[in-house]
Amino acid sequence: PGDRQANSLGSGFIISADGYILTNAHVAKDVDKIIVRLSDQRERPAKVIGVDELTDVAVLKIEGENLPVVKVGDSEALEVGEWVLAIGSPFGLERTATQGIVSAVGRNLPSGTYVPFIQSDVAVNPGSSGGPLFNLRGEVVGINSQIYSSTGGYMGLSFAIPIKLAMQVVDQLKATGEVTRGWLGILLQSVNNDLAEAFKLDRPRGALVAQVLPESPAASAGFKPGDIILRYGGEPVEDSSQLPRMIGVTPVGKTIAMSILRNGEPLEIKATIARLETVEERVSTMDEYSDPRLSMTVADLSNEQRRTLGIEDQGVLVASLDEGPAANAGLYPDDIILQIDHQPVKNANQFVEMAKEMPKGKAIPLLVRRESES
């Protein structure tokens, strides 16, 4: 039989009169052809300008002049309880509008280290990904990105990427086709009530340094495990989830002063921010192995990467995922799988062989390292 052609649907919106379009990275990534259908039913081929998987933002371009554009609003002005409206094509039903309220702002999700999501109860279903989230003034405040669901359909929890963050990504994708992020080289842990009491903090706040990666800017600056970062560049750090975003938007090469607590004593440390490697760069020099049963590709870690991550003799990198068992189980690109069914995994080839032995239909535990690395 010949190759089968698979079609998928997504939504998006025009942000400039000359045809730049915003949508989700998971809508535009790894596709052979994209056809954009405008509101007047005209269809035009689109070119992918750039994709940023870490924020799930993609920029497309169609040919045209004087195209109708959305008005971009202020996502930082959104308040809990405010009414919002989503427009998309759920299940191919074009120009479908749904409404709801903002349930939370700055929501942190495991799949979006660099995104402070807007949570709402707006109904968002498959096909609506990449569509706009409007405030009642008709301004776009977010890009509908994902839902939390046990069934695959809407269950009252939907999440949008703030438009301010998305437009920052757009500027970089249009200029260079990629997004450059800052990197400090620390693994973080949240500060709970018990830790706050142990470190003599008045309340849970800051980001606890769990590990300092070798040969990193943090190591050069003198960071130590157990340090608590309270301020970054003068801005307070209320939670560990904030810090990767703060570091990520810092220009590479810039020296930043951080206020920390070490053994109960306040200190100031200055570090020069380096560049965070992309997933593609990490796997470009590795051997990759695909597992069609799990719909995923894993890659070996190089000796340098093992040293940087503090992993000696086990672990494989999740290089890419398609829809399938691995993605449904909650794995994400850049996760590091350390064990399958309590057995250590030393390399990608061994992972594939171990995966072949897994009984069909049986849930198998994986030990995964998903670091809040900055």
Catalytic residue positions, numbered: 26, 56, 129
Any idea which residue has 């009252």 for tokens? 156
Q: Distance from CA of residue 123 to its chain's centroid? A: 22
One-character DSSP codes across 19-88: -EEEE-HHHHTT-S-EEEE-TTS-EEEEEEEEEETTTTEEEEE---SS---PEE--GGG--TT-EEEEEE
One-character DSSP codes across 202-236: SSS-SEEEEEE-TTSHHHHHT--TT-EEEEETTEE
Q: What angle do CA 175, 33, 112 make, to 5 degrees?
A: 55
- How far is 137 from 19, CA to CA, in rounded Å? 23
Contact yes or no for 296/317 (Cβ under 8 A): no
Contact yes or no for 283/317 (Cβ under 8 A): yes
Any idea which residue has 């924020």 for tokens? 55
Question: CB under 8 Å to 30, separation ≥6 — which residues?
Answer: none
Which stretch of DSSP H or E encloses residue 102? strand 96-107
Nearest to 63, CA basis, from 79, 82, 80, 44: 44
